[in-house]
């Protein structure tokens, strides 16, 4: 249920069940886990883009499976099922290269939260974000309770999760849920441009930046300063650091290799 495409050093993962707005079923989830874990290991990939086929990004967990299990009177334990989602969210979060969610149309439920686990989000102006969970009596999962308050603050996070109203793309951009909102007509081009730019960046440094920023949210200043020193030591050993300095001194654009 995925389409995979290599565009230079960018891996584009397209969720492909357009007839149900890319609702995530078991097979798609297993494929997403396998592909993201593999992308993390593959040094030839320097940026990962996640998007949806058809008219939407994704409508969340495929609810037909759950409806079916309810109808058979089965007690559902989501533990094992969620474990797979957790592997996906962890793979995206710890990916040692940038991840970009490209959202058009609706992003609902766990599909929305998977987008939140990516480093950056670009949205088409037709995008709609929906923390749909409470509409069906569920709590946000797939990392939503972690990323949402960190991205938009506690007040907005509670509102989005409790009222479960749709948020349009402009409002999402205004509150910082997405990094940028572009006209639908330019969405593909702008996504590609941003992805190529990220793939041409200092990849190892990007990974260190992610680690540092998230760590700072759970530590005090002294600890953040210590971690900055430690990770700067690592950044200083990269070829991209040397290249960046050389390019600056030679007054030319840097050619980063990701090493
Ligand atoms: C769908 C779905 C869908 C199947 C649209 N499944 N078919 C929960 C449980 C346990 C463990 C794991 O985690 C989770 C996390 C979750 O993600 S819970 C939240 C699940 N998602 C939702 O509650 C959203 C349900 N969908 C909707 O509310 C609407 O479809 C939205 C607002 C997403 C889009 O509305 P529209 O643009 O009006 O499209 P539509 O409703 O007409 O949908 C098009 C088709 O897609 C339709 O099928 P049909 O045969 O009538 O054309 C829908 O039934 C199907 N579809 N979402 N999640």
* Rounded distance between C-alpha atoms, residue 249 and residue 93, angstroms: 34
Burial annotation 202-241 (CB, 10 A radius, 16+ → b, else e): bbbbbbbbbbbeeeeeeeeeeebeebeeebeeebeebebb
Average pLDDT of the chain?
96
Q: Quick check: is 186 catalytic?
A: no
Q: What tens digit of pLDDT does each residue of 156-188 get?
A: 999 999 999 999 999 999 999 999 999 999 999
* 30 plus 143 within the same structural domain: yes
* 119 plus 214 within the same structural domain: no
Residue nearest to atom 26 of ligand 1 (CA): 59
Establish whether residue 20 lines the binding site of ligand 1, counting it when its CB lies within 6 angstroms of any ligand atom.
Answer: yes
Residue nearest to atom 30 of ligand 1 (CA): 59
* 94 plus 148 within the same structural domain: yes
Residue nearest to atom 4 of ligand 1 (CA): 62
* 165 plus 57 within the same structural domain: yes
Q: Quick check: is 170 catalytic?
A: no
Q: What tens digit of pLDDT does each residue of 41-71 get?
A: 999 999 999 999 999 999 999 999 766 565 6
Query: From the CA of 184, how far away is ligand 1's center (Å)?
Result: 22
In this prediction, the answer to ipTM > 0.85 reads yes
256 inside domain = no
DSSP 164-183: ---EEHHHHHHTTSSSEEE-
* 233 plus 179 within the same structural domain: no
229 inside domain = yes
Closest to 45 in 3D by CA, of 169, 199, 195: 199
228 lies in which domain range? 203-249
The predicted pLDDT at position 81 comes to 80
Q: Are 195 and 10 in contact (CB under 8 A)?
A: yes
What mean pLDDT do residues 10-21 have? 98
Query: From the CA of 20, how far away is ligand 1's center (Å)?
Result: 7
86, 93, 126, 168: the active-site residue: 86
Residue nearest to atom 46 of ligand 1 (CA): 20
The predicted pLDDT at position 147 comes to 98
Q: Are 95 and 89 in contact (CB under 8 A)?
A: no
Q: What tens digit of pLDDT does each residue of 225-237 get?
A: 999 999 999 999 9
**Structural domain count of the chain:** 2
Q: Are 102 and 122 in contact (CB under 8 A)?
A: yes
């Amino acid at each position: 249920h995925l389409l995979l495409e290599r565009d230079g050093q960018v891996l584009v993962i397209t969720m492909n069940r357009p007839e149900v707005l890319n609702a995530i079923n078991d097979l798609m989830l297993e494929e997403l886990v396998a592909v993201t874990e593999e992308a993390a290991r593959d040094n030839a990939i320097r940026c990962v883009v996640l998007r949806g086929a058809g008219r939407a990004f994704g409508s969340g967990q495929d609810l037909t499976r759950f409806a079916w299990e309810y109808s058979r009177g089965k007690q559902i334990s989501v533990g094992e099922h969620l474990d797979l989602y957790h592997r996906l969210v962890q793979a995206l979060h710890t990916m040692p290269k940038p991840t970009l969610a490209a959202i058009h149309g609706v992003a609902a439920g766990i599909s929305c939260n998977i987008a939140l686990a990516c480093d950056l989000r670009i949205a088409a102006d037709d995008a709609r974000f929906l923390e749909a969970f409470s509409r069906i009596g569920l709590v946000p999962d797939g990392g939503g309770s972690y990323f949402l308050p960190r991205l938009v603050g506690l007040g907005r996070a509670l509102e989005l999760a409790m009222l479960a109203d749709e948020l349009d793309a402009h409002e999402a951009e205004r509150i910082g849920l997405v990094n940028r909102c572009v006209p639908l007509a330019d969405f593909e081009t702008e996504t590609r441009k941003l992805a190529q730019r990220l793939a041409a960046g200092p990849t190892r440094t990007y990974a260190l930046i992610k680690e540092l920023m998230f760590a700072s949210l759970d530590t005090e200043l002294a600890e953040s300063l210590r971690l900055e020193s430690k990770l700067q030591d690592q950044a200083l050993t990269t070829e991209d650091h040397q290249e960046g300095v050389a390019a600056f001194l030679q007054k030319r654009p840097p050619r980063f290799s990701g090493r």
